[in-house]
């Protein structure tokens, strides 16, 4: 029996544990500070990388300042070995153009080019959407040109770029994007999903599942929606079920966004939420005009965690208190019904890849006399799944941006509700020791969490002003072959 579990915790306590010695981890944590120039131009900003020991974050740290126009453009690789850097166009004006991708080896800070620097911004709109594969072997990115969008796959070990292609591709006039765009990796990094619009308004979207090794097609599905395509893909670990959200590109303005699950083995499609476009028998109970937001996470092959926030009206001013729905549900799939677990809304989940523990943050909503809903962050919870239920066992200060270390021994996150100064938390899972780090509050200084890095005993940092290596030319032909 397949289950989708949607759950939230309202009351959790920190379980007492015996004091244990703190062991220095095999990883360090990396964050960046951004210092704006006097001109307040994005391109003149200076980025500095900071390595800190999460078990003693207030101790001396190692730093490295990047050269002009170079900035981190993604979190560290899942194995903590690499950092992806973007080279920005100094003549881009008020629009940020990434005109080159580079890769930093976090063991010695050496840098190699992934793509050549595209000097003429009139011929390119930029490179975007870089994503790491779960095994850190590949990077995907999208190249935006005046002729359209192309997706590419970069092999880190062999320094090779190839276009992401779909068999039997046919270009569709006036459809945007009509070329396959990379969307999601499978957990084992052997397959990925692409999507493309089949008409101008994306009423019909084609999803393709491909092998990474040779781009061969595994299965395909055409999704028909009211408009504006599909997004927010999540893939079960066994690669059988793909969940996604409809009505994406303008979902912040219009209603009718729902969650569907595609069973790739049986080639069936099932709508599992009915908050904005309910079945005919529910129209009297559920008004047709609603906006819904979701957070979802596949826990294992049988369990999907999903939380919902839905409004019965588009406008959020002067609405009735009963117009807001916040639910966390358990859903039996396929063919089952949603079961209410809690009235709270989980805004973020992060699964520990080794222990299967889950870190999550939630919000509570209260209706104030001025006709607004006030959001209150709840404590961060660490939970485990037991007999189909989400059982929290640890309560931590509120925050988000959860990052488990590659070995699953530590969790990093930040307090997002305090703009200055930035605050980071580091949890050592085995002894539940929590460390708190405050970034020095300097005017004009912003911070960004980048993730975990390997921590060799003798790190040698070089100054990366020289961009080493030979760039790999981007293929002149796009995915249309």
Which range of 140-149, 194-203, 288-297, 332-341 scores highest in mean pLDDT? It is: 194-203
Quick check: is 476 in a domain?
Answer: no
The answer, yes or no, to whether residue 25 has pLDDT greater than 60, is no
Q: Quick one: pLDDT band at residue 231, thresholds 50, 70, 90?
A: confident
For residues 70 and 84, is the Cβ–Cβ distance under 8 A? no
Q: Is the peptide bond before 329 cis (omega within 30 degrees of 0)?
A: no
- Please list, residue by residue across 256-290, b when 16 or more beta carbons sit within 10 angstroms of its beta carbon and e when fewer do: bbbbbbbbbeeeeeeebbbbbbbeeeeeeebeeeb
The answer, yes or no, to whether residue 126 has pLDDT greater than 50, is yes
**pLDDT score at 422:** 84
The answer, yes or no, to whether residue 176 has pLDDT greater than 70, is no
The answer, yes or no, to whether residue 167 has pLDDT greater than 50, is yes
Domain extent, residue 180, equals: 3-454
Q: What percent of the chain has pLDDT over 70?
A: 65
Overall residue count recorded for the chain in this entry: 481
CA atoms within 13 A on the CB side of 183: 24
What CA–CA distances, in Å, run from 108 to 104, 272, 460? 8, 48, 5
Angstrom distance (rounded) from CA 472 to CA 160: 7
Q: Is the peptide bond before 435 cis (omega within 30 degrees of 0)?
A: no
Listed range (9-13, 222-226, 313-317) with the worst mean pLDDT: 9-13
The answer, yes or no, to whether residue 212 has pLDDT greater than 80, is yes
Quick check: is 469 in a domain?
Answer: no
**CATH number, domain containing residue 220:** 2.130.10.120
Beta bridge partners of 294: 308
Quick check: is 216 in a domain?
Answer: yes
The answer, yes or no, to whether residue 470 has pLDDT greater than 90, is no
The answer, yes or no, to whether residue 274 has pLDDT greater than 70, is yes
Nearest residue to 422 via CA among 25, 32, 28: 32
pLDDT in tens, 276-299: 654 444 333 444 445 667 788 888
**pLDDT score at 410:** 95
Q: Return mean pLDDT, the chain.
A: 74
Q: Quick one: pLDDT band at residue 108, thresholds 50, 70, 90?
A: confident
Q: Does the predicted model carry a pTM greater than 0.75?
A: yes
Any long-range contacts for 250-254 (C-beta under 8 Å, 24+ apart)? 251/291, 252/291, 253/314, 254/228, 254/291, 254/314
Q: Quick one: pLDDT band at residue 28, thresholds 50, 70, 90?
A: very high
The answer, yes or no, to whether residue 437 has pLDDT greater than 80, is yes
Quick check: is 467 in a domain?
Answer: no
Quick check: is 477 in a domain?
Answer: no
Higher pLDDT, 371 or 231: 231
- Residue 320 has phi, psi (to 5 degrees) of -75, 145
The pLDDT of 169-192, averaged and rounded, is 81
Angstrom distance (rounded) from CA 270 to CA 318: 35
3-state secondary structure of 44: helix
The answer, yes or no, to whether residue 203 has pLDDT greater than 60, is yes
Give the number of domains in the chain. Answer: 1
- Spatial neighbors of 129 by CB under 8 A, at least 6 apart, are 140, 141, 142, 181, 182
Listed range (116-130, 136-150, 160-174, 370-384) with the worst mean pLDDT: 116-130
Higher pLDDT, 438 or 314: 438
Quick check: is 247 in a domain?
Answer: yes
Query: Other C-beta atoms within 10 Å of 456: how many?
Result: 12
- Spatial neighbors of 41 by CB under 8 A, at least 6 apart, are none
Angstrom distance (rounded) from CA 69 to CA 49: 14
**pLDDT score at 191:** 95
Quick check: is 70 in a domain?
Answer: yes
**pLDDT score at 462:** 45
Listed range (238-242, 288-292, 342-346) with the worst mean pLDDT: 288-292
The answer, yes or no, to whether residue 368 has pLDDT greater than 70, is no
Quick check: is 283 in a domain?
Answer: yes
Q: Quick one: pLDDT band at residue 132, thresholds 50, 70, 90?
A: very high
For residues 445 and 37, is the Cβ–Cβ distance under 8 A? no
The answer, yes or no, to whether residue 475 has pLDDT greater than 50, is no
**What letter does residue 312 receive in the DSSP assignment?**
S
Query: Other C-beta atoms within 10 Å of 143: how many?
Result: 24
Structure tokens at 336: 């089952």
Query: Other C-beta atoms within 10 Å of 172: how many?
Result: 17
Q: Quick one: pLDDT band at residue 336, thresholds 50, 70, 90?
A: low
What CA–CA distances, in Å, run from 40 to 36, 44, 45, 446? 6, 8, 8, 13
The answer, yes or no, to whether residue 261 has pLDDT greater than 70, is yes
Angstrom distance (rounded) from CA 170 to CA 156: 30
Beta bridge partners of 86: 71, 101
3-state secondary structure of 62: strand
What H or E segment, with its residue span, contains residue 347? strand 345-351
Distance, C-alpha 157 to centroid of its chain: 24
Nearest residue to 161 via CA among 148, 147, 151: 151
The answer, yes or no, to whether residue 140 has pLDDT greater than 80, is yes
pLDDT in tens, 46-89: 889 999 999 888 887 788 888 777 889 888 999 999 999 988 76
Torsion 216-222-225-228 (CA) sign:
positive
pLDDT in tens, 396-422: 998 989 999 999 999 999 987 655 568
Q: Quick one: pLDDT band at residue 22, thresholds 50, 70, 90?
A: very low
Structure tokens at 194: 């692409």
Angstrom distance (rounded) from CA 38 to CA 49: 21
The answer, yes or no, to whether residue 383 has pLDDT greater than 80, is yes
Biggest CA-to-CA distance, the chain: 68
For residues 391 and 12, is the Cβ–Cβ distance under 8 A? no
Q: Quick one: pLDDT band at residue 216, thresholds 50, 70, 90?
A: very high
The answer, yes or no, to whether residue 214 has pLDDT greater than 70, is yes
Q: Is 357 exposed, middle or buried (0-12, 13-18, 19+ CB in 10 A)?
A: buried
Q: Quick one: pLDDT band at residue 41, thresholds 50, 70, 90?
A: low
**pLDDT score at 235:** 92
Distance, C-alpha 190 to centroid of its chain: 19
Q: What percent of the chain has pLDDT over 90?
A: 27
């Amino acid at each position: 029996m397949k289950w989708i579990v949607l759950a939230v915790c309202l009351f959790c306590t920190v379980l007492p544990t015996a004091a244990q010695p703190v062991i220095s981890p095999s990883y360090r944590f990396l964050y960046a500070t951004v210092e704006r120039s006097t001109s307040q131009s994005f391109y003149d900003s200076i980025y500095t990388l900071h390595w800190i020991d999460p078990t003693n974050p207030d101790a001396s740290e190692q730093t490295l300042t990047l050269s002009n126009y170079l900035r981190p453009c993604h979190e560290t690789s899942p194995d903590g070995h690499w950092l992806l850097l973007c080279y920005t166009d100094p003549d881009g004006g008020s629009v940020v153009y990434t005109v080159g991708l580079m890769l930093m080896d976090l063991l010695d800070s050496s840098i190699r080019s992934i793509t050549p620097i595209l000097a003429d911004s009139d011929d390119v709109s930029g490179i975007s959407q870089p994503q790491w594969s779960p095994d850190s072997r590949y990077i995907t990115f999208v190249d935006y040109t005046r002729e359209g969008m192309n997706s590419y796959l970069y092999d880190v070990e062999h320094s090779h770029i190839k276009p992401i292609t779909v068999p039997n591709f046919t270009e569709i006039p006036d459809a945007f994007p009509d070329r396959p765009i990379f969307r999601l990796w499978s957990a084992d990094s052997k397959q990925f999903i692409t999507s493309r619009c089949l008409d101008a308004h994306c009423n019909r979207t084609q999803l393709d599942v491909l092998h990474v090794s040779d781009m061969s097609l595994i299965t395909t599905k055409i999704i028909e929606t009211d408009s504006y395509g599909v997004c927010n893909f999540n893939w079960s670990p066994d690669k059988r079920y793909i969940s996604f959200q409809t009505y994406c590109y303008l979902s912040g303005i219009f209603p009718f966004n729902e969650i569907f699950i595609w069973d790739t083995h049986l080639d069936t499609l099932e709508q599992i939420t009915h908050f904005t476009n309910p079945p005919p028998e529910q129209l009297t109970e559920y008004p047709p005009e609603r906006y819904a937001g979701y957070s979802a996470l596949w826990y294992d092959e049988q369990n999907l965690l999903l939380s919902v926030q839905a409004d019965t009206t588009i406008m959020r001013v002067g609405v009735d208190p009963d117009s807001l729905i916040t639910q966390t549900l358990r859903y039996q799939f396929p063919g089952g019904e949603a079961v209410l677990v809690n009235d709270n809304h989980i805004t973020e989940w992060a699964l520990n890849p080794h222990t299967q523990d889950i870190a999550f943050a939630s919000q509570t909503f209260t209706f104030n006399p001025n006709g607004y809903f006030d959001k209150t962050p709840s404590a961060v919870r660490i939970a485990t799944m037991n007999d189909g239920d989400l059982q929290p066992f640890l309560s931590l200060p509120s925050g988000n941006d959860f990052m488990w270390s590659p070995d699953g021994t530590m969790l990093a996150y930040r307090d997002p509700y305090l703009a200055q100064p930035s605050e980071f938390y580091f949890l050592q899972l085995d002894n539940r020791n929590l460390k708190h780090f405050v970034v020095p509050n300097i005017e004009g200084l912003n911070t960004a969490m980048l993730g975990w890095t390997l921590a060799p005993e003798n790190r040698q940092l070089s100054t990366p002003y020289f961009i080493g290596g030979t760039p790999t030319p981007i293929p002149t032909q796009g995915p249309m072959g």
